[in-house]
Structure 1
Amino acid sequence: MAAPALIALAHGSRDPRSAATITALVGEARAMRPDLRIEQAFLDLSKPSFTTVVDRLVKAGFDEIVVVPLLLTEAYHATVDVPQVIEEAVARHPGLQIRATEILGLETCFLEVLDVRMREALSRSRVRELDALVLAAAGSSDPLANQAVARLARVWGSHHKLPVVAAYASAAPPATGEAVRAFRAEGRRHIAVASLFLAPGFLPDRAAELALEAGAIAVSEPLGAHPVIARTILARYAVGAVELVPV
């Protein structure tokens, strides 16, 4: 019996860099598990859609699918959009079993990736000294999602023994520019901003723009395709596949 298929389900963006990044990330996962059928899909704005991918897998003979939402926080997309598209797919294909796993979330191991991206940014900007960091995330109207980012910022700051504050590109204060200016008001001049986004797009670009305008000396790229994240996708899949096994 074939193992359940894996759909890595991302939000989607009008920015083609976003879909290209998800493609590269899914490629990392495929390289690690060539025995699995792994597909990417998007909730909105990018192709292929979740509906298209599910139909393709059913046509190929799969009756079990594990969906790993490529989302960093438990906000609207995770709690509403993902369950909705899965419910619609199951209704359209009687007998199909689909299990959604936990979202990627904010694993502490992602700080390894954050550090890699930050070192790349500092190297490009030829920066050798830092006295503060800002962790920039999308932001949410759900305070629990923002609190998760703030917790990760504290862990990151403790690791580097530097002051770190979380900032948000939408829905919650402070914006990245505000966070940078607050540090500068304290007399700190070497402030770098880390992009806690999975892929490029409007929000990461806006966060970077505001940070640089406020005087940040470097802004990292989003997490992007990295083996640590690919392994997390596969770990989520493993749990979901076990949950599909009849008791």
Structure 2
Amino acid sequence: MTPLIAVAHGSRDPRSAATVTALLDVVRALNPAVDVRAAFLDLSAPRLGDVLRTVHGEGHRHAVVVPLLLGKAFHARVDVPGAVADVQRQFPRLSVTIGDVLGPDPWLESAALRRLAEAGVRPFDRTTGIVLAGAGSSHAPANAAVAAIAARWAARSGWAGVEPAFASAGDPDVPTAIARLRARGATRVAVASWFLAPGLLPDRITARTLELAPDARIAAPLGADPEVAELVLHRYSTALTGSEVRQYA
């Protein structure tokens, strides 16, 4: 069985690695036959390069790396391929296929909307405006992908509005997003999370939101959601077979 190496960004916040562990437990439960391993790019262990060296040392000659990233920003475009290339220079007989990032994807949107519902937010509530909060990137297309999701939700949800907001390296920020929602008539604010796990940036979004809207409802990160786990397995199987066959609920 070709190992599935799921690589997350990594964080000093222990909640982040714990969430990744919980998500991969769901992945294993969905398909016990897959050899699932966790790895991180930075700040947490084990690092991606170390996991690749381990699977090579165990005799594997092929591995699939699935980035647990929600967009194609710097980490997906530079860090993951760079770490893989470093190991392949050391072990040229190790073939590594890098799967696609997780987002954007309808399954992630479904998980994010489910987290909102768990926070007590319902569709077709014209008094509520939604901040769709993401990390933000210097890579404009990554931010545009989050903005496109916000626009899609706004068109069909019945909320007062949906605005993207970014914790860093992107516009708009939380105050701007909330101001836009209030200008559209929102009297209540809720935050939808476009984060996989808890950590510094989601906490920054939450703190800034509560400063401006103390009664705001804050949805949890996507976390160990079954649809997120299904998506990890889908990225793995697509990388193995090169085929893209799936059904959307």
Normalising by structure 2, we get a TM-score of: 0.90
1:177 CA drift (Å): 2.7
Question: How many angstroms apart in 2 are the aligned matches of 1:130 and 1:85?
Answer: 47
Instruction: Please say if residues 107 and 231 of structure 2, whose CA atoms lie closer than 8 Å, have aligned partners that are also in contact.
Output: no
Once structures 1 and 2 are overlaid, which stretch shifts more, 148-157 or 185-194? 185-194
Partner residue, 2:151 = 154
Q: How many aligned positions are there?
A: 237
1:168 CA drift (Å): 0.6
Question: How many angstroms apart in 2 are the aligned matches of 1:21 and 1:208?
Answer: 18
Instruction: Please say if residues 178 and 214 of structure 1, whose CA atoms lie closer than 8 Å, have aligned partners that are also in contact.
Output: no
Question: How many angstroms apart in 2 are the aligned matches of 1:173 and 1:218?
Answer: 22
Question: How many angstroms apart in 2 are the aligned matches of 1:51 and 1:217?
Answer: 41
Question: How many angstroms apart in 2 are the aligned matches of 1:9 and 1:24?
Answer: 14
Instruction: Please say if residues 66 and 98 of structure 2, whose CA atoms lie closer than 8 Å, have aligned partners that are also in contact.
Output: yes
1:118 CA drift (Å): 1.0
Aligned-partner residue type, residue 71 of structure 1: L
1:165 is paired with a residue whose SS is: strand
Partner residue, 2:28 = 30
Partner residue, 1:217 = 216
Match of 1:134 among 128, 131, 134: 131
1:62 is paired with a residue whose SS is: coil
Question: How many angstroms apart in 2 are the aligned matches of 1:111 and 1:122?
Answer: 17
Two-structure CA RMSD over aligned residues (Å) = 1.6
1:242 CA drift (Å): 1.8
> Structure 1 residue 65 and structure 2 residue 66: aligned?
no
Q: Which runs of structure 2 are paired with 1:1-247 in the superposition (5 Å)?
A: 3-122=1-120, 130-162=127-159, 163-215=161-213, 217-243=216-242
Question: How many angstroms apart in 1 are the aligned matches of 2:127 and 2:69?
Answer: 30
Question: How many angstroms apart in 2 are the aligned matches of 1:87 and 1:49?
Answer: 14
Gap runs ≥5 in structure 2: 243-249
Gap runs ≥5 in structure 1: none
Instruction: Please say if residues 111 and 156 of structure 1, whose CA atoms lie closer than 8 Å, have aligned partners that are also in contact.
Output: no
1:43 CA drift (Å): 0.4
Instruction: Please say if residues 177 and 213 of structure 1, whose CA atoms lie closer than 8 Å, have aligned partners that are also in contact.
Output: no
Percent of pairs with identical residues: 42
Question: How many angstroms apart in 1 are the aligned matches of 2:181 and 2:155?
Answer: 17
Structure-2 change in CA distance of 1:130 and 1:60 (3 Å):
farther
Question: How many angstroms apart in 2 are the aligned matches of 1:156 and 1:82?
Answer: 31
1:87 is paired with a residue whose SS is: helix
1:94 CA drift (Å): 2.5
1:54 CA drift (Å): 1.3
1:159 CA drift (Å): 3.0
